């Protein structure tokens, strides 16, 4: 068995990067300057900037006075003290200048109030950006353009910030933890709708809150590196209902309609929406919960995943409106009330239904030593997804205690039907699923008299995912029906799961330099995996698959855990260490296979974080973690499962154990005044698993087994990004790059095949309004992917597969008057293929919008895919697998919309 490891060159590269980072830390020694700002009467002067300037008058460092008048400034030791001055020049006070002295690090500054008589003053605009404590505040009016509709459009112009196609917001390369509306989490983490429909005129500023702690009782007591965004209202006492009503129609047979209702004030917040369309708009991003993965990890909920699929290629890498042939409807209701006694009540409800069609053809080649196996398929699919999400929350969030109860009732599913032609064999396929997900999360966090904290939490979840797959004769009959022809295969699976997790911790805070947390908890999990495969014979009779007895697997996981955590902050650095100790007991059994396993394990999973502040805005972070984990019920079932029309899965190994070591170093550079943001980082991961996935590929069938062989995987990644606002051009420019190398083994047709994969991506974004009439937005990206298989024998060639892809987006807007907008959007996708014609597409869209201000109505004409492209081809590469997929997409489409603003 080959063990994946880095080459000497990669090891040297990693060592060199670590050396550079630690050199920066070592050579950028700093001293903290402290002091107080007071009036002559001893009253603290709050939120005043304190500047350190050199002899030429340039600012070399700065800080702000806090609520008690205290300030602190990090000053590099490379600067000469005898050439520096502290300056405080604030409206309403006389200017104060003090020379810095060698060896003196504390300065009391007494400010004398002064009265300034102002003549006529014309206020043109406020500050573009403000920095106060850990909050960076963007003035919306300074970044908004007259063509912008929603607050999401404005955020996309802000340097350091970006909004993805799915609505997810990032700041300086880091995904935000959540979006708040005037301090309230109205959307429950599903904020995609908010950024699209909240009018920019309602928002005064977009505040980026770093080191964000949403629980009041834990503020300044529990260190956090989370970033959140808060939309600050212009009028928190408004009782005015606003929103939009939109109706549209077009060709061929297109419709689009929506009704949005918005009411925001400090006591009540409402954002409700009803929409329907068949014009390619996907509503699922409106209610996707961006923080769901981190939440499930926090409660250790490894819920079962889907066991069955359609076995088709993924979605094409073009905007969804170009290929999404839909008939969709959605109700999205979000309501929040803050009562006088600090109780907050919130409800979030989403109802979604859809019917869409999908046509694709795929040719996949697997390159094996001495052989190549190819699969070809053509599929016409009809999908009918639906869901109901319900979340009810009651919360009290005070500085004295925190109480929160969240009840979720979610039901979702789909009914998918498709006609296939697989390796010249034609048949039908039906796949249906129903998911029922009920959970309750109760948390109580009171502060005790000595300023310490107690936290109690109980999370309970019931989850079941039944699936049913009917497929025709796509698989070989000699495997499934004793060499006899058959009519239909029927695969049924279900995975009911019940999980309970109760925990309690005690935080010692007070005046201690080191904050200590002691936590204990118990987790209980009960699961089943039931499956049966039946065969419908040509005469209509139904018989069970004779290869095995299916699955009736029982699973129970019990976990006791204790965790000790320590955190501290000293001058310009902070550190946190968590040392959780787990005791695992896992029992699973299946009588039909005489399978009965009972395992117990102790795991120690330390996590360490260090943060070094280089000055008031720049910092370095380092994180190390060593995690041990066990597999789940999906690793140990023995009965055969027909996972899709060409794949069979089973397991022949014990419960998988994984050891994961990870190291991450990140550098954050901010210059808020000049609006320059830079980030860079390096990550390294090493995973050792006790089992490996083995694939057996034949001409028509893929069989996968989990085998008891050690499997090593490792990866290294480097990322960097920069975002700058060019004041003279009123333009934001961003550059981002990412490189990753991964090494791992695959077990295919009885042979261990080691692979090394390299991925490189680079992108540039430009958003500028060069004149009052013209706006230009450009986004260009390139990606390079290479998969290389190591030699099995010295004389064998070294198989290498490569894929390149370039994607360019250009948007030009011309506005000859304040109420007329002409927009042309062009997108080019290019992928060269040596020895074959290159993949090259150009999509062109035109939009014309006219504002009827008197009627508060927008009239809009949208012509998409004007070149009438009806088919799209893409290339994908993964290890030894090379695939070409062709998709049927929407042709030319025109639609007229009228939007009335309430």
Give tens-digit pLDDT for 246-300: 999 999 999 999 999 999 999 999 999 999 999 999 999 999 998 888 889 889 9
pLDDT, residue 440, reads: 98
pLDDT interval class at 876 (50, 70, 90): confident
Which 3 state secondary structure label does DSSP give 95?
Answer: coil
Where do we find the tokens 């989490």?
Answer: 185
% of the chain with per-residue pLDDT over 90: 54
Residues 205-220 have pLDDT tens digits of 999 998 899 999 998 8
Task: Give CA separation, 192 vs 284, 324, 348, 476, in Å.
Answer: 9, 19, 13, 45
d(CA 401, CA 445): 5
Residues 168-218 have pLDDT tens digits of 999 998 999 999 999 999 999 999 999 999 999 999 999 999 889 999 999
Secondary structure (DSSP) of 328-339? EEEEEEEEEEE-
Instruction: Please check the confidence at residue 389 and state whether its pLDDT lies above 50.
Output: yes
3-state SS, 394-457, equals EEEECCCEEEEEEEEEEEEEEEEEEEEEECCEEEEEEEEEEEEEEEEEEEEEEECCCCCEEEEE
Instruction: Please check the confidence at residue 357 and state whether its pLDDT lies above 60.
Output: yes
Where do we find the tokens 């949005």?
Answer: 260
pTM of the model: 0.83
d(CA 382, CA 393): 36
Residue from 246, 355, 334 nearest 287 by CA? 334
d(CA 775, CA 778): 10
pLDDT, residue 18, reads: 47
Which 3 state secondary structure label does DSSP give 215?
Answer: coil
Residues 439-462 have pLDDT tens digits of 999 999 999 887 889 999 999 999
% of the chain with per-residue pLDDT over 70: 92
Average pLDDT over residues 504-508: 93
Instruction: Please check the confidence at residue 824 and state whether its pLDDT lies above 90.
Output: yes
**Is residue 304 a contact partner of residue 632, using CB atoms and an 8 Å limit?**
yes
pLDDT, residue 478, reads: 76
Mean pLDDT estimate for the chain: 87
Instruction: Please check the confidence at residue 615 and state whether its pLDDT lies above 80.
Output: yes
pLDDT, residue 22, reads: 44
Least confident of 235-239, 332-336, 512-516, 756-760: 512-516
Residue from 611, 704, 612, 607 nearest 650 by CA? 704
Higher pLDDT, 141 or 46: 141
pLDDT, residue 5, reads: 44
pLDDT, residue 774, reads: 92
Instruction: Please check the confidence at residue 397 and state whether its pLDDT lies above 50.
Output: yes
pLDDT interval class at 565 (50, 70, 90): very high
Least confident of 40-54, 115-129, 508-522, 866-880: 115-129
Least confident of 321-325, 375-379, 675-679: 375-379
Instruction: Please check the confidence at residue 21 and state whether its pLDDT lies above 60.
Output: no
Highest mean pLDDT among 41-45, 55-59, 430-434, 794-798: 430-434
Instruction: Please check the confidence at residue 764 and state whether its pLDDT lies above 80.
Output: yes
pLDDT, residue 118, reads: 42
Residues 632-655 have pLDDT tens digits of 998 899 999 999 888 888 888 788
Residue from 486, 392, 490 nearest 441 by CA? 392
Residues 772-796 have pLDDT tens digits of 889 999 999 999 988 887 665 554 5
**Is residue 537 a contact partner of residue 545, using CB atoms and an 8 Å limit?**
no
d(CA 861, CA 859): 7
Average pLDDT over residues 63-80: 76
d(CA 10, CA 616): 34
Q: Which residues pair with 344 in a beta bridge?
A: 338, 395
Instruction: Please check the confidence at residue 476 and state whether its pLDDT lies above 80.
Output: no
Average pLDDT over residues 686-714: 80
Within 83-228, residue ranges assigned H as helices are: 140-143, 151-155, 192-197
**Is residue 738 a contact partner of residue 761, using CB atoms and an 8 Å limit?**
yes
pLDDT, residue 736, reads: 95
Residue from 230, 213, 229, 214 nearest 172 by CA? 229
Least confident of 364-368, 519-523, 837-841, 852-856: 364-368
DSSP state, residue 189? T
Examine residue 25 and say whether the peptide bond preceding it is cis (omega within 30 degrees of 0).
no
**Is residue 405 a contact partner of residue 345, using CB atoms and an 8 Å limit?**
no
pLDDT interval class at 800 (50, 70, 90): low
d(CA 837, CA 843): 19
Residue 86 in tokens: 């502290």
Average pLDDT over residues 230-240: 90
**Is residue 386 a contact partner of residue 412, using CB atoms and an 8 Å limit?**
yes
Average pLDDT over residues 116-130: 53
């Amino acid at each position: 068995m080959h063990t994946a490891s880095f080459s000497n060159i990669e090891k040297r590269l990693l060592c060199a990067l670590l050396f550079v980072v630690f050199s920066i830390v070592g050579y950028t020694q700093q001293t903290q300057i402290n002091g107080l700002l007071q009036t002559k009467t001893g009253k603290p002067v709050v939120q005043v900037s304190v500047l350190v300037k050199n002899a030429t008058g340039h600012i070399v460092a700065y800080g702000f006075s806090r609520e008690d008048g205290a300030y602190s400034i990090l000053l590099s030791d490379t600067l000469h003290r005898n050439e520096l001055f502290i300056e405080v020049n604030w409206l309403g006070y006389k200017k104060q200048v003090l020379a810095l002295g060698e060896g003196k690090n504390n300065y009391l500054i007494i400010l004398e109030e002064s009265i300034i008589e102002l003549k006529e003053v014309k206020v043109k605009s406020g500050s573009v950006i403000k920095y106060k404590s850990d909050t960076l505040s963007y003035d919306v009016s300074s970044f908004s353009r007259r063509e912008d509709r929603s607050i999401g459009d404005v955020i996309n112009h802000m340097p350091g910030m970006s909004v993805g196609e799915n609505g997810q917001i990032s700041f300086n390369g880091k995904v935000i933890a959540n979006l708040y509306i005037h301090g309230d989490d109205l959307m429950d983490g599903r904020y995609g709708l908010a950024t699209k429909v909240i009018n920019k005129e309602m928002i005064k500023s977009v505040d980026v809150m770093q080191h964000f702690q949403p629980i009041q009782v834990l503020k300044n007591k529990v260190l956090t590196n989370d970033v959140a965004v808060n939309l600050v209202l212009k009028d928190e006492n408004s009782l005015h209902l606003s929103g939009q009503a939109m109706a549209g129609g077009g060709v061929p047979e297109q419709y689009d309609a929506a009704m949005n209702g918005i009411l925001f004030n400090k006591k009540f917040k409402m954002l409700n929406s009803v929409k329907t369309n068949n014009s390619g708009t996907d509503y699922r991003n409106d209610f996707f919960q961006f923080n769901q993965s981190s939440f499930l990890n926090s409660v250790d909920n490894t819920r079962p995943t889907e066991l069955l699929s359609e076995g088709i290629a993924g979605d094409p890498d073009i905007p969804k409106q170009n290929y999404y042939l839909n008939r969709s409807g959605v109700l999205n209701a979000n309501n929040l009330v803050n009562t006088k006694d600090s109780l907050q009540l919130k409800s979030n409800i989403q109802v979604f239904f859809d019917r869409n069609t999908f046509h694709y053809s795929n040719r996949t080649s697997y390159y094996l030593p001495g052989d190549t196996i190819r699969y070809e398929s053509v599929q016409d699919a009809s999908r009918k997804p639906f869901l109901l999400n319900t979340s009810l929350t009651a919360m009290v969030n005070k500085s004295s205690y925190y109480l929160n109860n969240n009840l979720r009732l979610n039901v979702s599913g789909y009914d998918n039907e498709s006609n296939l032609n697989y390796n010249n064999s034609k048949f039908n396929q039906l796949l249906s699923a129903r998911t029922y997900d009920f959970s309750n999360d109760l948390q109580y966090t009171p502060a005790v008299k000595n300023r310490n904290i107690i936290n109690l939490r109980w999370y309970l979840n019931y989850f079941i995912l039944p699936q049913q797959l009917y497929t025709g004769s796509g698989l070989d009959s000699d495997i499934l029906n004793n060499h006899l022809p058959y009519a239909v295969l029927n695969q049924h699976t279900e995975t009911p799961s019940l999980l309970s997790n109760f925990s309690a911790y005690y935080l010692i805070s007070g005046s201690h330099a080191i904050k200590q947390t002691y936590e204990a908890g118990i987790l209980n999990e009960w699961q089943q995996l039931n499956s049966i495969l039946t065969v419908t014979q040509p005469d209509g009779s139904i018989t069970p698959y004779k290869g095995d007895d299916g699955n009736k697997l029982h699973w129970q996981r019990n976990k006791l855990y204790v965790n000790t955590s320590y955190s501290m902050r000293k001058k310009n650095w902070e550190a946190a260490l968590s040392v959780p100790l787990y005791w695992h007991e896992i029992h699973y059994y299946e009588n039909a296979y005489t399978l009965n396993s009972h395992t117990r394990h102790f795991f120690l999973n330390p996590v360490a974080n260090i943060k070094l502040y280089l000055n008031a805005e720049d910092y370095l972070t380092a994180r190390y973690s060593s995690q041990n984990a066990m597999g789940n019920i999906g690793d140990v079932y023995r009965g055969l499962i027909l996972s899709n029309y060409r794949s069979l899965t089973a397991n022949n190994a014990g419960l998988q154990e994984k050891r994961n070591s990870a190291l991450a170093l990140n550098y954050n550079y901010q210059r808020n005044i000049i609006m320059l943001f830079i980030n860079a980082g390096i990550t390294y991961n090493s995973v050792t698993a006790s089992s490996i996935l083995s694939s057996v590929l034949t001409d028509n069938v893929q069989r996968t087994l989990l085998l008891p062989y050690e499997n090593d995987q490792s990866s290294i990644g480097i990322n960097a990004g920069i975002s700058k606002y060019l004041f003279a051009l009123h333009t934001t420019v961003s550059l981002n790059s990412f490189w990753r190398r991964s090494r791992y083994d695959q077990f295919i047709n009885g042979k261990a095949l080691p692979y090394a994969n390299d991925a490189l991506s680079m992108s540039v974004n430009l958003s500028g309004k060069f004149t009052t009439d013209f706006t230009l937005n450009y986004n260009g990206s390139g990606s390079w992917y290479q998969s290389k298989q190591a030699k099995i024998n010295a004389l064998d060639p070294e198989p290498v597969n490569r894929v390149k892809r370039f994607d360019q987006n250009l948007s030009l807007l011309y506005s000859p008057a304040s109420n007329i907008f002409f927009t042309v959007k062009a997108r080019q996708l290019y992928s060269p293929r040596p020895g074959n014609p290159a993949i090259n597409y150009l999509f062109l869209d035109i939009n014309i919008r006219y504002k009827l201000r008197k009627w508060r109505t927008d009239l809009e004409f949208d012509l998409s895919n004007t070149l009438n492209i009806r088919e799209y081809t893409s290339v994908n590469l993964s290890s030894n697998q090379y695939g070409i997929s062709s998709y049927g997409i929407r042709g030319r489409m025109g639609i007229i919309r009228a939007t009335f603003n309430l």
